[in-house]
């Protein structure tokens, strides 16, 4: 779905361009993760040493697997293989909208933890998100949030007895 | 009461199960209709609601979404040239040209018929093959089970990712996430960092809703490009004539069989089957020149193959306990939470539930067919809805769905973190499928390996032919994509792909 057709039958290529530095950075990150897991696996405390396969063995095998795949990725990145990315390119407005969305989720979780009801937070969340996504008017800013909140109340609070 | 009657009654005599099925069908059709909402995401979200229900009720909702989405996703493929889900990619090849030629109505009807035939064919195979496979699998010891789990994991790595290295990394990270918590045998804490909360490990629902729900929405927010394409509104006639039905019979039968075979392979789903089915239909057609320009045979080849993977995936999932696709992976974990262990023993312990599952699939298919043929015209109007409308709503339901499973905000925090991790993975080309499968299969792999090594040493694998074959298949599934890519690089013309 990376190339939506536009009016007139043309095709707008929105695919993300390949990036070797990004691939190398990711491989380095994966290598670090593998090393961290290997160290973590070897330092797992075992109460009864029985020999053979103990609680450390399986995580060690996985850490070695992560290191091997990260090494393979690093080799591919350095030799210029497989750098194509099968994703759409991000837009500048997309970054802003995503930042707003993540910030709103974080704010909702904090306020919910503080004690505010989710039934109050949910409509506010939808309204702010819809504003950030460029939606205006009665339906996206009033009707939609109100309907969803009512649905949440009926399904979760009343039917499933989930304390929101 | 015999298990068959008991299994059918669990659905048809329970009003709640029927209501769940109706909701699932409605949701599934909508999910398929809106490009960007995948079936995995919808089923993952629905698990938040279904965990408090009885198994038959929950399965009625989850499986109905699974079935109905197969119908809904064909609509945008045909009218907007945008697949509703990845399984409908091949539908666009001839569906959209048919709609452009003024045969949109015919394409929608014939697509619904092909989908119905595909699913029903695959259910016949499920009902005849699942039990014998399960009986065979019951004879598996820990060596064979470990080898089977390795094969299931490596096959999804090779299929789900364009880069085997990244797929492997995803699988390993999934396995690694599953090690967090208490050791299953000695109860020693692993990677809990002294936190009491982490002794239970990561929450599966938070993982799947994060990876399939939050990631999907955030990625769409990040990459949304406004497109001015409008759904084709002049649909022409709806019903195929006798000549057209006769013409599609052969590609329908062939693609259906192909799809069933592909569905049985763990992780190979409708997207791959659809393209192969389209290609095979072209190979046997008397008019291959029409393919890609609005061929009714091409449309049928793609849709029958794509939909007939469902029964195959179900067979692998229930008889072996290895997920046939990502939806089945979610289904397996839901069943575990209900106290049901999918796998060979399910056919001995709960034969009624297997019958219930088959009944749900068949009834959902028949209802979806009727709804698709009768209401497609009305559903096409929903294609005008902008995706921004549903982003915020999906996020709210992700939060509430996860919270409902534990009543703990920290589980929601886990979900958001998994969502952000999934977004990073997606942008970097690491598929979510192997991560989820690794998380599910990790404990099974470790337990069987430890059991095997208590019986014998690693050399024990060499004395067990089934284990050897499965291990060799696992290695081949990792090596083959690398060899294939190397060969394609040497022959660039041949590497153009399935669809020229």
Please report the number of interchain residue pairs, chain A to chain B, with beta-carbon separation below 8 angstroms. Answer: 188
Q: Is A12 helix (H, G, I), strand (E, B) or coil?
A: coil
Residues in chain A, overall count: 164
- Please indicate, yes or no, if residue B121 is contained in any of the structural domains: yes
pLDDT digits (tens, 9 = 90+) for A93-122: 999 999 999 999 999 999 998 888 888 999
Among B162, B222, B478, which would you mutate to test the A interface (most chain A Cβ atoms within 10 Å of its Cβ)? B222
- Please indicate, yes or no, if residue B498 is contained in any of the structural domains: no
Interchain contact A26–B (C-beta under 8 A): yes
Can you give the residue range of the structural domain that contains A47?
A: 20-78
Per the CB < 8 A criterion, the answer to whether B433 and B127 are in contact is: no
The dihedral through the CA atoms of B283, B289, B291, B296 has a sign that is negative
Helices then strands, counting H and E runs in chain B, come out as: 22, 2
- Measured between beta carbons, which residues in chain A are less than 8 angstroms from residue B413? 109
- Please indicate, yes or no, if residue B495 is contained in any of the structural domains: no
Adjacent-strand bridge partners of B365: none
- Please indicate, yes or no, if residue A7 is contained in any of the structural domains: no
B173 vs B157: CA distance, rounded Å: 12
What string of DSSP letters covers B100-128?
IIIIHHHHHHHHHHHHHHHHHHHHHHHHH
Q: Is B321 helix (H, G, I), strand (E, B) or coil?
A: coil
- Please indicate, yes or no, if residue B118 is contained in any of the structural domains: yes
Residue A11 phi, psi dihedral angles, 5° rounding: -125, 125
Q: pLDDT truncated to tens, each residue of chain B (500 aa)?
A: 677 787 788 787 889 999 999 999 988 888 777 766 778 778 888 887 788 888 889 999 999 999 998 888 888 888 877 777 777 888 888 988 898 888 888 899 999 999 999 999 999 999 988 888 888 887 788 898 888 888 888 877 777 677 888 889 999 999 999 999 998 888 889 998 888 888 888 988 888 888 888 998 899 899 887 765 566 667 777 788 888 888 889 999 999 998 888 888 776 677 778 888 898 888 888 888 888 888 999 999 999 999 998 988 888 888 888 887 778 888 888 888 888 888 888 888 888 888 999 999 999 999 999 988 876 666 666 666 777 888 888 888 888 888 877 888 888 999 999 999 999 998 988 888 889 888 888 888 898 888 888 888 888 888 888 889 889 988 888 888 878 777 776 665 444 444 43
Q: What residues have CB less than 8 Å from B150, skipping those under 6 apart?
A: B445, B470, B471, B474
CB < 8 Å from A in window 196-255 of B:
217-219, 221-225, 227-230
CA nearest A102: which of B436, B388, B413, B389? B413
Report the residue of chain A nearest B223, measured CA to CA. Answer: A90
Alpha-carbon distance values, B310 to B20, B102, B262, B361 (Å): 20, 31, 10, 9
B367 vs B21: CA distance, rounded Å: 10
CA nearest B451: which of B71, B143, B28? B143
- Please indicate, yes or no, if residue A34 is contained in any of the structural domains: yes
Per the CB < 8 A criterion, the answer to whether B212 and B38 are in contact is: yes
Adjacent-strand bridge partners of B182: B189
Of B164, B392, B449, the CB nearest to A125: B392
- Please indicate, yes or no, if residue B497 is contained in any of the structural domains: no
- Please indicate, yes or no, if residue A11 is contained in any of the structural domains: no
- Please indicate, yes or no, if residue A98 is contained in any of the structural domains: yes
- Please indicate, yes or no, if residue A87 is contained in any of the structural domains: no
Token pair recorded at residue A26: 């990711």
Co-location of A118 and A151 in the same domain: yes
Contact A94 B224 (CB under 8 A): yes
Distance of CA B254 to the CA centre of its chain: 22
Structural domains in chain A (count): 2
CA nearest B475: which of B147, B142, B145, B143? B147
Contact B190 A44 (CB under 8 A): yes
- DSSP single-letter state for residue B199: G
Q: Which ranges of B51-103 would DSSP assign to H, the alpha helix?
A: 55-72, 74-79, 91-98
- Please indicate, yes or no, if residue B130 is contained in any of the structural domains: yes
Residue B189 phi, psi dihedral angles, 5° rounding: -70, 140
Of A98, A134, A160, the CB nearest to B404: A160
Co-location of A70 and A106 in the same domain: no
- Please indicate, yes or no, if residue A143 is contained in any of the structural domains: yes
B137 vs B145: CA distance, rounded Å: 9
- Please indicate, yes or no, if residue A164 is contained in any of the structural domains: no
Token pair recorded at residue A142: 């009033």
B415 vs A85: CA distance, rounded Å: 25
Taking every pair of Cα atoms in chain A, the longest distance, rounded to a whole number of angstroms, is 72
B136 vs B386: CA distance, rounded Å: 50
- Please indicate, yes or no, if residue A70 is contained in any of the structural domains: yes
CA nearest B126: which of B310, B311, B251? B311
Taking every pair of Cα atoms in chain B, the longest distance, rounded to a whole number of angstroms, is 71
Can you give the residue range of the structural domain that contains B93?
A: 3-490
Co-location of A103 and A150 in the same domain: yes
Which contacts of B191-200 are long-range, i.e. CB under 8 A and separated by 24 or more positions?
B191/A40, B191/A44, B191/A59, B197/B410
Chain A nearest-CA distance from B221, in A, is 6
- Please indicate, yes or no, if residue B499 is contained in any of the structural domains: no
């Amino acid at each position: 779905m990376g190339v939506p057709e536009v009016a007139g039958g043309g095709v707008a290529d929105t695919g993300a361009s390949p990036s070797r530095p990004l691939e190398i950075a990711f491989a380095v990150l994966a290598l670090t993760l593998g090393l961290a897991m290997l160290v973590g696996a070897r330092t797992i405390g075992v109460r009864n040493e029985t020999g053979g396969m103990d609680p450390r063995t399986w995580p060690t095998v996985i850490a070695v697997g992560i290191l091997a795949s990260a090494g393979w990725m690093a080799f591919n990145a350095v030799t210029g293989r497989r750098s194509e990315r099968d994703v759409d390119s991000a837009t500048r407005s997309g970054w802003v909208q995503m930042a707003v969305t993540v910030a709103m989720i974080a704010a909702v979780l904090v306020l919910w933890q503080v004690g505010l009801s989710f039934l109050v937070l949910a409509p506010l969340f939808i309204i702010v998100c819809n504003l950030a996504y460029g939606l205006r008017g009665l339906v996206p800013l009033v009707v939609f949030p109100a309907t969803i909140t009512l649905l949440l109340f009926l399904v979760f609070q009343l039917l499933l007895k989930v304390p929101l | 009461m015999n298990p068959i009657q008991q299994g059918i009654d669990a659905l048809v005599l329970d009003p709640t199960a029927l209501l769940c099925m109706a909701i699932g069908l409605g949701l599934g059709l909508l999910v398929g209709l809106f490009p960007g909402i995948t079936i995995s995401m919808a089923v993952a979200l629905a698990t938040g609601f279904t965990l408090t229900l009885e198994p038959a009720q929950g399965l009625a909702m989850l499986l109905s979404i699974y079935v109905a989405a197969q119908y809904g996703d064909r609509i945008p493929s045909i009218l907007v040239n945008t697949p509703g889900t990845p399984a409908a990619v091949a539908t666009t090849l001839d569906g959209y040209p048919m709609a452009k030629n003024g045969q949109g109505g015919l394409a929608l009807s014939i697509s619904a018929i092909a989908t119905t035939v595909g699913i029903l064919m695959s259910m016949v195979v499920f009902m005849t093959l699942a039990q014998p496979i399960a009986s065979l699998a019951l004879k598996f010891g820990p060596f064979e089970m470990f080898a089977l789990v390795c094969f299931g994991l490596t096959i999804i790595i090779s299929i789900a990712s364009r880069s085997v290295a990244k797929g492997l990394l995803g699988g390993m990270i999934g396995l690694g996430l599953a090690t967090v918590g208490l050791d299953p045998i000695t109860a020693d804490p692993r990677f809990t960092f002294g936190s009491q909360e982490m002794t239970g490990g990561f929450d599966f629902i938070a993982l799947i809703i994060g990876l399939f729900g939050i990631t999907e929405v955030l990625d769409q927010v990040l990459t949304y490009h406004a497109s001015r394409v409008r759904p084709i509104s002049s649909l022409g006639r709806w019903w195929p004539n006798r000549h057209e039905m006769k013409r599609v019979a052969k590609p329908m039968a062939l693609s259906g069989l192909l799809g069933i075979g592909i569905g049985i392979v763990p992780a190979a789903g409708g997207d791959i089957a659809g393209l192969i089915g389209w290609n095979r239909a072209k190979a046997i057609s008397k008019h291959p020149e029409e393919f890609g320009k609005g061929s009714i045979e091409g449309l049928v080849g793609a849709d029958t193959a794509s939909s007939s993977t469902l029964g195959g995936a179900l067979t692998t999932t229930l008889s072996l306990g290895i997920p046939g696709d990502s939806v089945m992976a979610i289904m397996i974990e839901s069943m575990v939470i209900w106290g049901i262990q999918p796998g060979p023993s399910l056919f001995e312990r709960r034969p009624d539930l297997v019958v219930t599952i088959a009944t749900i699939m068949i009834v959902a298919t028949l209802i979806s067919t009727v709804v698709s043929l009768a209401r497609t015209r009305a559903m096409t109007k929903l294609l005008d809805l902008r995706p921004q409308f549903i982003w915020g709503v999906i996020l709210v339901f992700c939060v509430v769905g996860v919270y409902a499973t534990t009543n703990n905000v920290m589980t929601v925090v886990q979900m958001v973190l998994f969502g952000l991790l999934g977004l990073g993975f997606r942008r970097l080309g690491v598929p979510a499928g192997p991560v989820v499968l690794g998380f599910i299969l990790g404990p099974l792999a470790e337990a069987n390996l430890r059991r095997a090594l208590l019986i014998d040493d690693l050399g024990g694998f060499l004395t067990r032919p089934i284990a050897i074959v499965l291990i060799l298949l696992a290695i081949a599934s990792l090596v083959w994509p690398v060899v294939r890519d190397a060969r394609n690089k040497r022959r660039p013309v041949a590497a153009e792909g399935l669809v020229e």
